[in-house]
């Protein structure tokens, strides 16, 4: 069976969930071979094996932390040359997309970004994408070279599928470009204790209807009852009620959670562009004519100041 390379996103050996989702998709196409780079790469092996990696190619060097993406592209290129895979799958983070695009250029392949699903096809893997502010769903396949495909978080379930996960050292020689862009400083983001917005399985968002920074505490309380990330519309962000890093939409972040709860958000096309691929969409809005109700699975016509606290209380009660 053909091997499929999966680029591992990890922090000091702790594998992030989108990579485990990629392993589920990779198994539809062939045998997953993971590529883990940087500090702690070898510590990823157990989690990757548990989720279907037959092999884990590892390499650590200071270049991965000291310089931006090119050393990683060099390593992935080395992995492609040693494995001749049926595809290369990369998580759709900003860095993942840059790595994928550069790799595709290097190996003369086509690239597909932000896939939301992947299936085996007679002529190579077929990727589903949601395009034009999610007004269309397209299916595409790479017609030249080894397909390089980035996949959005939450596009597949994480499934246990124990495999050998044999660790092998990857031999990498860095290109002249590898040291072109040096990292000069790092400041850790202040942790909110909530999941990362683009990876969260549940996102609870607030819009102009929240009517003030202080009222976002209601949105946060609902989010915390569900273990969710907090999102915001641009109107809320522009008003200074919530940080720009939490903006969902065309000029904010693109999210694709299992559950998206929009509170006091009208559903403008630019907001929809960032959340319309969510699996289940719930909206709370006091205007029954709000466009958000055109795309919801469940809608509550009501004042969020009544509905949200009751919902939070009910969830907390049921959690016991």
- Integer-rounded Cα Rg, in Å, for the chain is 21
**Segment near ligand FAD (CB under 6 A); pick from 32-40, 48-56, 149-157, 233-241:** 233-241
Q: What is the DSSP string of 251-294?
A: TSB----SEEEEES----HHHHTTTTT-SEEEEEES-TT-GGGG
Helix axes 216-226, 304-319, angle to 10 degrees: 30
Build a one-symbol-per-residue string for 297-316: x at contacts with ligand FAD by CB under 6 A, - elsewhere.
------xxx-----------
251 binds ligand FAD, rule: CB under 6 A: yes
Q: By rule CB under 6 A, what count of residues binds ligand FAD?
A: 28
Q: Which residue's CB is nearer to ligand FAD, number 174 or number 293? A: 293
203 binds ligand FAD, rule: CB under 6 A: no
- Specify the 3-state DSSP secondary structure of 295: coil
266 binds ligand FAD, rule: CB under 6 A: yes
- Specify the 3-state DSSP secondary structure of 63: helix
Among 32, 52, 165, 249, binds ligand FAD (CB under 6 A): 249
- Specify the 3-state DSSP secondary structure of 151: strand
What are the b/e assignments for 119-140, b being 16+ CB within 10 Å? eeeeebbbbbbbeebbeeeeeb
Q: Which residue's CB is nearer to ligand FAD, number 26 or number 284? A: 284
55 binds ligand FAD, rule: CB under 6 A: no
106 binds ligand FAD, rule: CB under 6 A: no
Among 96, 195, 264, 299, binds ligand FAD (CB under 6 A): 264
The answer for residues whose C-beta is within 8 angstroms of residue 100's C-beta and 6 or more apart is 88, 90, 111, 113, 148, 149, 150
Residue 275 CB, shortest distance to ligand FAD, in Å, is: 9
Q: Cβ–Cβ contacts within 10 Å for residue 308, how many?
A: 24
Tokens at residue 63, please?
């270049």
219 binds ligand FAD, rule: CB under 6 A: no
265 binds ligand FAD, rule: CB under 6 A: yes
Q: For binding to ligand FAD (CB under 6 A), which residues are involved?
A: 207-209, 233-236, 247-252, 264-266, 268, 270-271, 274, 284-287, 290, 303-305
């Amino acid at each position: 069976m053909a091997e499929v390379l999966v680029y591992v996103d990890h922090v000091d050996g702790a594998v992030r969930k989108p990579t485990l989702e990629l392993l589920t998709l990779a198994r539809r196409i062939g045998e997953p071979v993971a590529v883990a780079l940087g500090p702690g790469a070898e510590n990823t092996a157990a989690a990757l094996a548990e989720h279907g990696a037959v092999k884990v190619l590892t390499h650590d060097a200071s270049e991965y932390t000291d310089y931006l993406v090119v050393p990683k592209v060099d390593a992935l290129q080395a992995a492609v040359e040693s494995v001749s895979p049926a595809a290369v799958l990369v998580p759709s983070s900003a860095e993942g997309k840059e790595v994928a695009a550069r790799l595709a250029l290097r190996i003369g392949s086509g690239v597909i970004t932000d896939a939301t699903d992947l299936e085996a096809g007679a002529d190579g893997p077929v990727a589903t994408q949601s395009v034009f502010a999610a007004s269309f769903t397209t299916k595409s396949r790479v017609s030249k070279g080894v397909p390089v495909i980035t996949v959005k978080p939450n596009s597949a379930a994480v499934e246990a599928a124990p495999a050998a996960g044999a660790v092998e050292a990857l031999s990498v020689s860095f290109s002249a470009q590898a040291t072109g862009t040096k990292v000069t400083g790092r400041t850790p983001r202040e942790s909110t204790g909530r999941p990362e917005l683009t990876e969260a399985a549940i996102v609870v968002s607030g819009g102009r209807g929240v009517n003030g920074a202080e009222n976002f505490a209601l949105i946060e309380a609902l989010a915390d009852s569900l273990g969710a990330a907090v999102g915001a519309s641009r109107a809320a962000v522009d008003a200074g009620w919530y940080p720009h890093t939490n903006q969902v939409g065309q000029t904010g972040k693109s999210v694709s959670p299992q559950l998206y709860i929009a509170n006091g958000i009208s559903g403008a096309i630019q907001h929809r562009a960032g959340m319309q691929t969510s699996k289940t969409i719930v909206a709370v809005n006091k205007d029954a004519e709000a466009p958000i109700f055109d795309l919801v699975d469940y809608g509550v016509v009501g004042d969020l100041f009544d509905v949200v606290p009751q919902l939070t209380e009910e969830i907390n009660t049921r959690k016991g």
